[in-house]
Structure formats: structure tokens, C-alpha cells
Chains A and B, each alone.
Chain A
């Protein structure tokens, strides 16, 4: 057993953004264990002030490359909420479908490119190209299905251009939507293959549980990423998204340029596992079956199993996405020109990003120029929980080899699928 352990990881790899791990222990006693966020702050809420409501989604989409569709949609929903804009059923369905593309792309990227190397004892996906070529090619095919869905509906894969308050600048043709349907149908066996690969490696995920509060959107009618109220595993209360500030309770710490959050406990978690823990009984049959094969049940408090919940959600959105396409095609797609008369108001938009619940709040003057903004990012909400997991897990593994401890802590960070660059521009403005 080592007498002293000293771990200092600068810029944890295979995550989006910059985070550091610090651990110091002697004679098996932890002296310091810390999750630090040194990402350069980018001040988006300050930058959107004075911009027209028509430009907001173009700016805030750039908060995050990997959840740009989610950010665009949260902004658009916030604007629509502020200006009492109703959208058509077709717009609603196309948006949800486009967002499903991002869920697939992001979850597959995370599980396939970033986490799988840990489970196979490699530093990156690159050696897997040689050792597991079929698995890598299957991951690539699935990744592309998510991307083509976003590209078809959003105009391109990252930073969508067609999404705007009230509707779309352009919509896909029925032929193109039918092509997407075919590629999504073909993705089902690929996804089953990947689920089986992950299941066979799931014993490599550490066995660590800590009682945790999970927070996600919930909807009485279906497994939701888009419409609903805020729910917690600690309470039966459902909070309307317009009141999100009383859930997130942000605060600033010297170890982080991102703000941290807490509600009923010292910290809470958001993301695929949170959504699963709150809404699992609403999964469609294939997704529910995948969860069953993983042995994944509600009330799971092992953060590493978030990776399994992500695979379950890929099946869920593929399954529901196919239903949405059928509904859209049956009804027939039609152009719906949008003309918005701006008006003064304040509104909130909330969408579940792949890595957890995202809130945008905006206020506009009567000409539609932004006067206030507040954005609360999922990874910001997870930072405190990563710290609390570190504090609980480090003492349990402190007698292991230093490199193994480092790897287990890095894997813990990765399991949250953090998007650290996104999390680093939260805000303190008081809205009345």
C-alpha cells in the first residue's frame, strides 16, 4: 500500500472542455480531493444583451459544439415564451426529431469514442481501429445517423441554421424524410450490436454507489426531452420551468470558473441516468428491453452507469423518432411561413441536453432586443455532484495503485459526459 498518494491531472482527457483532478493522501487518509474547472469564461449572457431576438439562437448555439441544437432550441423556446408565440404541431415534431439526432450523435460519441477505450484498456479510439474494426465501423455508422438527422432538419450537423422563433426557415422534403427513416431503421440492428458490446464490458464499470438527488424534465404522457416540468427523485413536487432558479440555486467557488448548483442536498445530478431514474417506466418497448438486458433499474445511484442509460436513450429516441416520421409523413409536410411581431416580455426555455437539463431565460424590450439573459448549463449542475462523488469514492479506493486511482477518478468524470466549456458562463443576474 503506498504511503502517500499525490494525483494532479491537468485537463482531463476525452471530455469536452477543461477540468482538473487533485488528490493528496498520506497513510490512507485523504487530505485533499478536488474537482477543479479552469475553463476560460466566455460571458455569453453579457454578449447577447442588445441583440435582436432573431440573432439570439445563432449566438448561444456557440456555447457548445456538441449540444448546439439543444442550446438553439432552449433559446427559441425562451423567446417564444417571452413573446407568447405558438408553434404548429409540425414544427414541434420536427424540432423534437432534430433534437433526437443530437441525442444519438452525442451519446454515441461519448459511449463509443470517449468511454469505450477505458473499458478496453486503451488511451483512445485509435488503437481500436486495428483491434476492433467492426465495432468502430458500427459506431461510425450510428454517429452518422444522428448527424444526418440534424443536418436534414437543422440545415447542418453543428450550429443549426433553420431553427428560428416560430418555426423553420426551411423544412425537409417528404422524400428526404423517408430516406432518414430508412437510415434510422437500419440503425436499429447496429444499436443492438453496440448495446451487446457495452453489456459484455459493463463489469469494467466500477461498482460504486452514493445516494444522489437526480433532476430531470418529466411529462405525465411520455419519456420527455422537450416538454414538461422539473422533477426530482427527492420530492413529488413538479416545478414549472419558469421557476427553475429555485431548483438550481447557483453559487461560485474559487476552484471553478463555472457555477455550481444544489437543491435538496449538497449537490444533485442531471443527464441520461437522471432522466432514466425519473421516467424509466415511460420507455418504449425496445428501450425498456435494452434497460432490462443491462439490469438497469430505477433508483440506480452508480454514476458510472450513466453510460448504460445513454445507450438505452439512443434506442428510445430511435424508436420514438421513427414514430414521429410516420406521423409527419401521414399528415403531409407543408411550408409554414413565419412572421413574428416582437413584443416586450420575459420567458424561459428548457430542453434536456444529452448531458442533462438546460435552462435559458431572456427578457426583451418592445422592439425585441434582449435586455437580460440567464443560462444554466447541465454540466454546471453536475460539478458539485462530481466533487461529492470524489469525496465518497476516493477513501474506498485509496489503497490501490496510484495510476489505478487516477484512472477511476478520470472515468468518474467522463461518466457524466461533461461539457465543461459550456458550463463556464453561468450567471448571477437577479430576475424579479
Chain B
């Protein structure tokens, strides 16, 4: 079986999801039996336009980046969005709650007029081009990344959880964050992270985005049980899920 030719590209982000690929440690050596990286700027000096799979990390915030992404989409058979910045816009979308002129002037002051500092409101990758698969999370779950890439390499369809984080959190036998008086996005957020944050004493901030069809009524019941409202839940969504509707 020929190896899958894979290229990794990054846009506006912290590059922490690419870093997770290194964090596979020894498992990288196994993956290299199935895939051939042909371009990956953070790790390799090689470049190529000839790839089967393009892995896109980061959000799109500039016209020139949008053009670059469209060319990558044309070159690739399969496009994978890697991490919250790419799948839902993530932290970068907090910017969209402000006026672009305001954020630019706040950061660059009197120099804000320089044209190279222009950006537009943050877009997730699928707001610009078609995305075939998403590796959710901030950062991604490396096991899930490896599973998706291995599935594609052997021609299998990867299955991504479409149930809330609460399911995984219960399996870990954690005490519910609501019991501590906190507001947790677990009831509406897509699982697949192994409930890492609530297991470390932190409420879920929704970095994997919403489940496809969030059960708003169940979420309302949970909120009511703890004397809170859906608007309280929406307030917490400003961190990772700005502009996501449910």
C-alpha cells in the first residue's frame, strides 16, 4: 500500500496542536510507516504541492491567508482542520466581539494605520473552504489525531464522538463541577477529550465546540437544578465558542 502523502499548514494560532504531533513521542515512528510527510514547515525544510491530505491548523484572519488556503484546498484530496482555531475559530473569535479598528488601535496604538497590520474578523477553516474531517480541541487529543490519520491511511471512515463531555466525565466518576457552584459547558460540548479539564478540577470551557444537536432542554434542566440559566451558560461560551449559536 502506498504511503499517504501528508502536508501540514499553519495559519493564525499558537501552533500548539502541531506540537501535539511531536507529543505522540514513539507513536510518530509507527505513523511514519503509514504516512509520508511532504511539507510541514515547523518540522521540515522540504516543500511540496503534491499531497493527498492537507492538515490545516489555525484560523483565517486575512485576505492573503484565505487565498493561500484555497490553493491548498485545490491541491488536496482531503482536508483536515486541526484544533479549535481551525474547527470553530476558538480563542481567536473573542476578537469578533470587538470592532476590528478598536482591537488594532488598542494593540498597535499610533502605528495601527500601517497596512500590514490589517486583519478581518476571525473565520474557522470551514467558513472559507470545504473541510472533510475535524480534529477538535485546544489542544487536540493526540490519540484522536492518530486514530483519524491511521483510519484515513487504511481507507476507513473515522468516527468522532457526538455526545456531550458529561458522558466521559461521569465515566471518570468525577464530582460534577456544578456541585462546586461553577458553570461548566460539559452538557453541550462534544466529547472526545476524556474530560481532561473537569478531571483536573476545572470546568469545561467548550474547546471542542458544540455537539451537532445540543440537547438544550436537558441543559436547561441541569441549569435550573443548580439555580442557573441558559444565559449563564452562553456567558461562559465567550472563551472558545464566541458566535456559536444553539
Q: Which residues of A contact B (CB under 8 A)?
A: 11, 13-18, 38, 40-43, 45-47, 49, 51, 55, 58-59, 62-66, 68, 109, 113-114, 117, 123-126, 129, 136-137, 140, 143-144, 147, 155-159, 161-162, 168-170, 252, 254, 257, 410, 421-422, 425-429
Indicate if B239 sits at the interface (CB-CB under 8 A). yes
Indicate if B37 sits at the interface (CB-CB under 8 A). yes
Interface of A is mostly: loop
Indicate if B1 sits at the interface (CB-CB under 8 A). no
Nearest 7 CB-CB pairings of A with B: A65-B16, A428-B109, A169-B201, A155-B200, A124-B44, A46-B103, A252-B111
Tell me the minimal C-beta distance from A156 to chain B in angstroms.
6
A427 contacts B106, C-beta separation under 8 Å: yes
A43 contacts B104, C-beta separation under 8 Å: yes
A129 contacts B196, C-beta separation under 8 Å: no
* B120-164 at interface with A (beta carbon < 8 Å): 138-139
A429 contacts B44, C-beta separation under 8 Å: no
CA distance A425 to B41 in the complex (A): 21
* Residues in chain B near residue A40, CB distance under 8 A: 11-12, 61-62, 65, 119
Indicate if B19 sits at the interface (CB-CB under 8 A). yes
**Nearest-neighbor residue (CB-CB) of B140 within chain A:** A158
**Which of A157, A159, A421 touches B23 (beta carbons < 8 Å)?**
A157
* Residues in chain B near residue A13, CB distance under 8 A: 41-45
A126 contacts B32, C-beta separation under 8 Å: yes
CA distance A147 to B44 in the complex (A): 22
* Residues in chain A near residue B104, CB distance under 8 A: 41, 43
Indicate if B20 sits at the interface (CB-CB under 8 A). yes
Knowing A40-B11, A124-B43, A252-B111, the reply to whether A158 touches B139 (Cβ < 8 A) is yes
A to B CB contacts below 8 Å, 23 in the list: A15-B42, A41-B108, A41-B119, A42-B12, A47-B95, A47-B103, A63-B14, A65-B13, A68-B14, A113-B22, A113-B43, A124-B45, A143-B22, A144-B25, A157-B23, A158-B20, A162-B202, A252-B114, A254-B114, A421-B14, A421-B15, A427-B107, A428-B109
A426 contacts B19, C-beta separation under 8 Å: no
B45 contacts A64, C-beta separation under 8 Å: no
**Which of A14, A47, A49, A68 touches B45 (beta carbons < 8 Å)?**
A14
Q: Mark B28-55, 1 if CB is under 8 A from A, else 0.
A: 1100100001001111111000000000
**Which of B14, B201, B238 touches A170 (beta carbons < 8 Å)?**
B201
Q: Mark B61-90, 1 if CB is under 8 A from A, else 0.
A: 110010000000000000000000000001
Tell me the minimal C-beta distance from A133 to chain B in angstroms.
9
